[in-house]
Structure 1
Amino acid sequence: MPVQRADARRNYERILAEAEREVAAHGADASLEQIARTVGVGSATVRRHFPGRRALLEAVFRERIEALCARARELAGAPDPRAALLEALHGLAAYATSARGLATALTQDGGAGPEHVNACPAKISDAYDPLLERAARAGAVASDVTTADLVTLISGIALATEHDPDAAARTDRLLRLAVAGISPSG
Structure 2
Amino acid sequence: MRADARKNYNHLLAVARDVVTEHGADASMRDIARRADVGLATLLRHFPTREALFEALMCRHLDALAQKADELEAAKPPDEALVSWFREGVAFVHSYRGVVDLMASAHANPASALYASCAAVHAVGARLLLRAQAEGTARADMDGDDLFALMSALAWLAGQSAFAPRADHLFHLIASAILTNPSSNDVKKATC
Normalised-by-shorter TM-score class = 0.7 to 0.9
Mapping of 1:75-114 within 5 angstroms? Answer: 75-78=72-75, 80-109=77-106, 111=109, 113=111
Amino acid at match of 1:136: Q
Q: Give the structure 2 partner of residue 19 of structure 1.
A: 16
Q: Give the structure 2 partner of residue 143 of structure 1.
A: 140
Partner residue of 2:47 out of 50, 62, 65: 50
Distance in 2 between the 1:19 and 1:102 partners?
Answer: 13
Q: What TM-score, normalized to structure 2? A: 0.78
Indicate whether 1:121 and 2:127 are aligned. no
Q: RMSD value over aligned CA atoms?
A: 2.7
Q: What SS does the aligned partner of 1:116 have?
A: coil
Residue 79 (structure 1) shift: 5.6
Q: Give the structure 2 partner of residue 37 of structure 1.
A: 34
Distance in 1 between the 2:45 and 2:70 partners?
Answer: 34
Q: Deviations over 1:126-182 (max 9, x none)?
A: 322221111112222222312222122111111122143883x63322122123333
Amino acid at match of 1:43: L
Distance in 1 between the 2:63 and 2:46 partners?
Answer: 20
Q: Give the structure 2 partner of residue 131 of structure 1.
A: 128
Aligned pair in 2 of structure 1 residues 71, 14: CA closer, same or farther (>3 Å)?
closer
Residue 26 (structure 1) shift: 0.7
Amino acid at match of 2:119: A
**For the Cα contact (< 8 Å) 1:96–1:158, is it kept in 2?**
yes
Indicate whether 1:28 and 2:37 are aligned. no
Partner residue of 1:178 out of 174, 177, 182: 174
Amino acid at match of 1:86: V
**For the Cα contact (< 8 Å) 2:55–2:117, is it kept in 1?**
yes
Q: Give the structure 2 partner of residue 160 of structure 1.
A: 157
Q: Deviations over 1:54-74 (max 9, x none)?
A: 121122233232222111112
Gapped runs of 5+ residues in structure 2?
A: 182-192
**Structure 1: 4+ residue segments shifted above 6 A:** none
Q: What SS does the aligned partner of 2:34 have?
A: helix
Partner residue of 2:60 out of 54, 60, 63: 63
Q: What SS does the aligned partner of 2:91 have?
A: helix
Distance in 2 between the 1:112 and 1:183 partners?
Answer: 31
Q: Deviations over 1:86-109 (max 9, x none)?
A: 111112122323343443343233
Q: What TM-score, normalized to structure 1? A: 0.81
Once the two structures are aligned, what percentage of the paired residues are identical? 34
